Amino acid sequence: MAKVKVGIIGGSGYTGSELLRLLCKHPNIEVIAVTSRKLEGKRIWECHPFLKGFYDISFVSPELKNMEGCDVVFTAVPHGEAMKYVPQLLDVGIKVVDLSADYRLKKDVYERVYGLKHEGYRDAAYGLPELHRDEIAKAELVANPGCYPTGCILAVAPLAKAGLIERIIFDSKSGITGAGIKPTEFTHYPNLHEAIVPYKVTNHRHYYEMVQELEELQCDVKVSFTPQVFPGSRGILTNAHVFLKDRIDMEEIRRMYEEFYADCYFVRIQNEARLSWVRGSNFCDIAIFPGEDRVVVSSAIDNLVKGASGQAVQNMNIMLGLDEKTGLDFPPLFP
């Protein structure tokens, strides 16, 4: 079978390099174009030495003509940037998985939350395959979810689907790669060493994705969200403190989760959720802890894989009619 031709717009950051890591061993894919404005002309491994030996091509500039011949393009650029490329790509018949925030929210919500006028709005499937597999299969454009919403939504979806939730408080801890590849005061090593740093404590924009998705499952759900970083590179560990409308048997809850995720290869119900049990992989591990008046559900993902590029490849697989596991069916790197 001829390989599907893939392009990546934005190949110099962490989600770009992670796409390159995952796609180089994908059996049905050939990456033919990777863009970077500032690295144009350089070999991919000159920017990403860990990939030495895996790619021979060089970065090109992010123009439409450089995506010619692509069947699918990943846009791995900041929000506000993606909307400049996506409509053009769709218009020439290229399928798109957008890793930015530009197509995740309804237009008006997006414009309010991100403080930007949306210049190239299109309908997109929300790329959480565990909830939207069929829509994704039919979509030309998939909005890849934010890293936090992926772990948060998967942690509570079965309970929301059953309408059981009174209130959820998500307390999430992310590795530092979530802050991107550009050095800032926030990512300066001594500011993070031996630290837990809450930020945007009550006003992170990923909150709106969670609400949008969870309200679809249970219209009256109340959600709070606090993100923070922990001293590590990869991973998001979320504690979902869930207060239920009624008491419910723990065995029943566990059964609900098992059933809800029965066909979801990448969700595993475990006794604990450990970042080292999912690192480098596309798995979302979930553990459920009963309390007196609440349930705590912990979820663990690798923020760059299930929280970004791995999920993007999973979405691409579904859009192409491939098994969603293709190219992603390998174990985590433990410890």
**Active-site residue set:** 147
Q: How many residues bind its own copies (CB under 8 A)?
A: 81
Q: Smallest gap, in angstroms, from Cβ of residue 236 to its own copies? A: 9
> Where in 41-70 is the site for its own copies (CB under 8 A)?
48-54
Closer to its own copies by CB, 124 or 267: give it. 267
Amino acid at 41: G
Regarding 202 and contact with its own copies (CB under 8 A), the answer is yes
Q: Smallest gap, in angstroms, from Cβ of residue 158 to its own copies? A: 18
> Where in 232-251 is the site for its own copies (CB under 8 A)?
232-235, 237, 239, 241, 243
- Evaluate whether 180 touches 14 at the Cβ level (below 8 Å): yes
The two structure tokens encoding residue 205: 């924009």
Q: Smallest gap, in angstroms, from Cβ of residue 306 to its own copies? A: 14
> Where in 65-124 is the site for its own copies (CB under 8 A)?
none
Residue 134's CB is within 10 A of a number of other CB atoms, namely 10
Regarding 212 and contact with its own copies (CB under 8 A), the answer is no
Find the length of the chain. Answer: 335
Regarding 27 and contact with its own copies (CB under 8 A), the answer is no
Regarding 291 and contact with its own copies (CB under 8 A), the answer is yes
Buried b vs exposed e over 280-297: b needs ≥16 C-beta within 10 Å? bbbbbbbbbeeeeebbbb
Positive or negative: CA dihedral 156, 115, 136, 66: negative
Regarding 228 and contact with its own copies (CB under 8 A), the answer is yes
Residue 7's CB is within 10 A of a number of other CB atoms, namely 25
Q: Smallest gap, in angstroms, from Cβ of residue 165 to its own copies? A: 14
Closer to its own copies by CB, 125 or 159: give it. 159
Contacting residue, 5, 95, 274, 306, with its own copies by CB under 8 A: 274
Long-range pairs of 110-114 with CB within 8 A, sequence gap ≥ 24: 113/205, 113/208, 114/79, 114/80, 114/205
Regarding 25 and contact with its own copies (CB under 8 A), the answer is yes
Distance of CA 140 to the CA centre of its chain: 18
d(CA 149, CA 161): 16
Contacting residue, 62, 151, 158, 332, with its own copies by CB under 8 A: 332
Strand order in the sheet with 284-290: 197-198, 223-229, 165-174, 236-244, 295-301, 284-290, 267-269
Consecutive H or E run containing 211: helix 206-217
Question: CA dihedral in degrees (10, 15, 18, 19; nearest 10)?
Answer: -50
Q: Smallest gap, in angstroms, from Cβ of residue 259 to its own copies? A: 17
Task: Tell me if residue 242 falls in helix, strand or coil.
Answer: strand
Contacting residue, 277, 310, 312, 314, with its own copies by CB under 8 A: 277
Q: Smallest gap, in angstroms, from Cβ of residue 73 to its own copies? A: 21
Closer to its own copies by CB, 63 or 191: give it. 191
Structure-token match 């209130």, residue found: 167
Regarding 206 and contact with its own copies (CB under 8 A), the answer is no
User: Where does this chain touch its own copies (CB under 8 A) — which range of 83-91, 138-146, 225-233, 314-322?
Assistant: 225-233
> Where in 122-181 is the site for its own copies (CB under 8 A)?
167, 169, 171, 173, 175-177, 181
Closer to its own copies by CB, 28 or 228: give it. 228
